[in-house]
Amino acid sequence: MEQTPRKMMADPMLAEMGKNLNEAMKILENGEKEAELDPVIRRLSWRDIPGPLQGDGQDVFSVLQLVQNLIHDDDDKPSHRTQYVGEQAHMALLGHSLAAYVSVLDRERLRKLTTRILSDTTLWLCRIFRYENGSAYYHEDDREGLLKVCRLVINTRYEDYSTEGFAVLSSKQPVIYQSAACRPGLGQNLCSQLGLPLSSLCTVPCNTMFGSQHQIDVALLDKLIKDDVDTGKLPLLLIANAGTPGAGHTDKLGRLKELCVQNNMWLHVEGVNLATLALGHVSSTVTAATKSDSMTLTPGPWLGLPAVPAVTLYRHEDPALTLAAGLTSSLPAEKLRALPLWLSLQYLGHDGIVERIKKTSELSKKLLEHLKTLGSIKTSDVLEAEVSLLEALSMVEDELNSPVVVFRFSQDTSTSSSHGSVEGYSGGEKEVLDALNRWLGEQLAQHVPASGVDVVELEDEGTCVRFNPLMTAAVLGTQEADINAVVEKLTELVPLLSCTLRFKQDFREEVYQHPALTYIEDLNWPGLGVIRYQLRSEYTDDSKRQQDLEKVNVELLKKLKEMDTDFSFSSGPEFSPEKNCIYVGIATDDLDVGALVETIASVGREIEESGKLLENMTEVVRKGIQEAELQLLKANEEKLMEEGVLRQIPLVGSVLNWFSPSQSSIKGRTFNLAAGSLDSTEETYTMKAQSGKTDPPDTPTSTTKRLPGQKLFRRSTTGSEVCSEVGSVGQPEELLREATPLPSPQEVVSHVTQELAEKPGPFESTEVPESQESDEEGSIR
């Protein structure tokens, strides 16, 4: 009974809007499931060619069907990640529909509604993130808030800016300071939008001696500010990080605030660690961000809310200057930007918001706990240098409260084992490790896409794998099971990387021992190495040599891929500068490097020799066919002289042959491929008539020396002589017998026949009588 009045008070338009939105979301979500189950049907129904606008229009379902096809057009790509859309996301989407609906209300009602929405949303965000007495600016581009703040600071520090414009800046050039760890292009975009020269941007290096190497050097910043003041410049604003884009490190915000107060500068803070301000226990370094003059929040990825604006909280008491800077506006469309966030925050509630951020922080802690149990991770900054030398994985972490986890595979290159060595790679050690870490991150992202791990390039550490759940967990729906899957995959891949790094030098030395193989130095390849099979024959035509080289290496790659092995062989990256190469993949612990290289060289040699044999046999067969044509022509002339002209006439010849049969003296011919000669078939028919039909002898098959279930190129673990022979000598011989068969005579004849058909011979027009055709049909092949 209590719900009836509330239902009657609901606006029918709002109810219809919510219903239509639910139906549209169901259509799109069902379309996504259909595309995953049967992508062929989706591609067949996809109209990728734009057409004219239909005069009669289309219904809602048809339009949504087109949108569905556009959304899922690239679902067959392996890098696709399914986005998790929950009920809170539906509320954010409903907010955009409501914004369009309320924008047509009368002015007074719209003013009251937008004022209430802005006031509520600003109040809630300031309380959640502990930013007292703050105002809020909502913007689509997360860089736009900083741009408006800079305009505000310029208007504040240059009193005549509103009347004289940029002319007042010539007296004292403004200077904007940013950390070297800020996101790339931020300062350049700021100067471009403000119309300032790049000389107004000062990038402050990070620590090099003490503290984190991802934190801004406060002492150096103080010196730079004093130097700028002495040269007549005006320090304007400092951009600091509460969670750097790469590693999630937080600057010393407390000391930076004191420095800004001393020099009358504006302090702006941004970063993912600002989300932890909503939690009950926050580190002191992040809490210092609440004392900054402004900070930018991105609640969309933090809470899994699509299409909600970013928010810049700031403190300033002059409404005229904020209006001049664009931080406030009287346009209804700009005021309604906060509507999707207003709906979503109410749907989640304070406890729901805190719970989501807390869950992402727990995922990071869970990953750290699992990594510590591997016995190959160090999480302390004090032992960071030691970790990079002694452990298989080194940990790069700012502090325990940071939700960003960054780790990197590393191994001591000064040590060696009984089966491999990494000596000789000190020069390109960083590039090799970067390539292996890049491969590690790609494998983790491919096998556990819901984890959201990615690859990040850090200036000092190099290529690392990053887990940043605040930016991905709510959107991808990351769970604890995904963290367990990452750790499980990590324990599987790290030993492979160690073996690959250990066998790289051995592989290179083995390749150098084979003249037919060339080692290609490619430090960016995450595998054993890159090789190319070189032809041993001499060529006068360089283009012919390049064609044969490409054919041999392509065929060699094909044969290697067909082998029963754990290795991966490929032609390399798409845009690799090296062509006609074979890229050998990740190694295993029981790899027999010598057997691998010997097999590659042997298979390549057999492919090259079989190609030469085919060319030689082609020439022999061509000469044999020409000789056969000459003998056929001579036999036709002898038959004409022996039988006379009358027997060649079809009707008369049949009557004469019936009354007086003729004994033909023409014999069949057979071509011996082994000897390259044209012989008579008389001896063959005589031997068959005497011996009768006999079965051909069985071809002796080679015995396999590989143990049952054992992959190629693996050392045996039994230690017996037989197993040792399998791992070294037996494999190449077996592979040559199985992988590179010689061309059959039929293939050679077919190849020659095709060439002769394309290039007519001198005897192509010779006519053969019907009687001879019947005699010679099965003789000359």
Say whether pLDDT at 132 is over 90.
yes
Banded model confidence at residue 373, pLDDT cuts 50, 70, 90: confident
CB-based contacts of 385, cutoff 8 Å, min separation 6: none
C-beta neighbour count of 297 within 10 angstroms: 23
Do the Cβ atoms of 347 and 299 come closer than 8 Å? no
Strand, helix or coil for residue 76: coil
d(CA 344, CA 753): 76
Q: Of 96-110, 362-376, 735-749, which range is least confident?
A: 735-749
Q: pLDDT by residue (tens digit) across 683-721?
A: 666 666 665 545 444 434 333 355 555 566 666 554 433
pLDDT at res. 720: 37
Average pLDDT, rounded, for the chain: 77
Banded model confidence at residue 777, pLDDT cuts 50, 70, 90: very low
Q: pLDDT by residue (tens digit) across 501-552?
A: 889 999 999 999 988 899 999 888 999 999 999 887 777 777 878 888 888 8
pLDDT at res. 568: 86
pLDDT at res. 576: 77
Q: Of 401-410, 415-424, 599-608, 708-717, which range is least confident?
A: 415-424
Return the percentage of the chain with pLDDT > 90, whole number: 35
DSSP letters spanning 378-441:
---STTHHHHHHH-SEEEE-S-TT---EEEEE---TT-EETTEE-TT-STTHHHHHHHHHHHHH
**Backbone phi and psi for residue 246, each to the nearest 5 degrees, phi listed first:** -85, -60
Tell me which residue has tokens 């298979």. 603
pLDDT at res. 731: 45
Say whether pLDDT at 357 is over 70.
yes
Angle between helix axes 12-37 and 60-71 (nearest 10 degrees) is 40
In this prediction, residues 635-649 reach a mean pLDDT of 69
pLDDT at res. 231: 94
In this prediction, residues 426-453 reach a mean pLDDT of 88
Q: pLDDT by residue (tens digit) across 79-123?
A: 445 555 666 777 777 888 888 888 888 888 899 999 999 999 999
Q: Of 225-229, 283-287, 393-397, which range is least confident?
A: 393-397
Q: pLDDT by residue (tens digit) across 270-329?
A: 999 999 999 988 888 999 999 999 999 999 999 988 889 999 999 998 999 999 999 998
d(CA 181, CA 455): 16
pLDDT at res. 546: 85
Tell me which residue has tokens 């001049």. 324
Return the percentage of the chain with pLDDT > 70, whole number: 65
Report the greatest alpha carbon distance in the chain.
Answer: 132
* Rounded alpha-carbon distances, angstroms, from residue 769 to 640, 644, 661, 781: 10, 13, 17, 18
Banded model confidence at residue 52, pLDDT cuts 50, 70, 90: confident
